[in-house]
Amino acid sequence: MAKRGPYGKGEAKRAEILRVALEIFAEEGYRGTSLRKVAAACDLSLPGLMHYFDSKEDLLTQVLRVRDETARLRGAGEDDIEQVHHVIQEGAKTPGLVELFVSMAAAAADPGHPAHAHFAERYPLLRERATAAVRRAVDEGRYDTTIPPERVATLMLAVVDGIQLQWLIDRSVDMEQPFDDLLTLLRADDATRGPGGAGVSRG
């Protein structure tokens, strides 16, 4: 199970494939990118590539996992709300990966799709973490609402996901503003409920 022994090379190659695939999807978008093209970029034949994955959708799902992991690691140690901003900014640079994420989310509607398990784990996890952060903010008097923290967390995730659809069509849409505006609405101090002020304080 570890990376030692005769599996070392295989694991390394698998990781390389995922890295290369992520690059290609980021640069050229995920649509119209065939597995044969990915294989060629890895100096591999198509079956050689498929040796490491059960199917195309399995590969795509693992690319998504890598992306999630990368974003998570870069935001390590930060506050949960900070991490959200970080992930948003990262996503805003790579339309191809946002496109991949949204497409996979649609495909994962089918319980039999490999990505279904991924999202089925991911959303509850994100909701839990966001819920904890919201609960803390309410307890400390920073947020002023009696809406249950779980529901506020669900609302936050919806905003972050949803703005991406608008952004995919029109890149001039500000991907951070709606989330910041939501935070403003949640904030206890009424003086900050307007746009003139600092919005969210960070940095």
Kindly list the residues in this chain that would bind DNA in the complex (CB under 7 A): 6-7, 9-10, 13, 34-37, 43-48, 50-52, 55-57
Give CA–CA dist 46/43, Å, rounded: 10
Q: Which is nearer to a copy of itself, 44 or 97 (CB)?
A: 97
CB of 50 or CB of 159, closer to DNA: 50
Q: Which is nearer to DNA, 57 or 82 (CB)?
A: 57
* Contact residues for a copy of itself, defined by CB under 8 A: 29, 31, 95, 98-99, 102-103, 105-110, 116, 119-120, 123, 144-148, 151-152, 154-155, 157-163, 165-166, 168-170, 173, 177-178, 181-182, 184-186, 193-196
Which of DNA, a copy of itself, none lies near 182, with the C-beta cut-off 5 to 8 A by kind? a copy of itself
Least separation in angstroms between residue 142's CB and a copy of itself is 15
In sequence order, what are the residues at sequence separation of 6 or more whose Cβ sits closer than 8 angstroms to the Cβ of residue 181?
195, 199
Count CB atoms within 10 A of the CB of residue 62: 22
Q: Closest approach of Cβ 20 to DNA, in Å?
A: 13
N- to C-terminal Cα separation, the chain: 41
Question: Which among 113, 105, 84, 112 is positioned nearest to 30, based on CA atoms?
Answer: 105
Residues contacting 159, CB < 8 A, separation 6+: 178, 179, 182
If the CB atoms of residues 11 and 82 are measured against DNA, the closer one turns out to be 11
The partner in contact with residue 70, picked from a copy of itself, DNA, none with C-beta cut-offs of 5 to 8 angstroms by kind, is none
7 binds, among DNA, a copy of itself, none (CB under 5 to 8 A by kind): DNA
- Give the integer Cα–Cα distance in Å for 25 and 38: 9
135 binds, among DNA, a copy of itself, none (CB under 5 to 8 A by kind): none
Q: Quick one: tokens of 62? A: 């693992």
Cα-Cα-Cα-Cα torsion 162, 114, 27, 85, nearest 10 degrees, comes to 40
Q: How far is the CB of 31 from a copy of itself (least distance, A)?
A: 6
3-state secondary structure of 51: coil
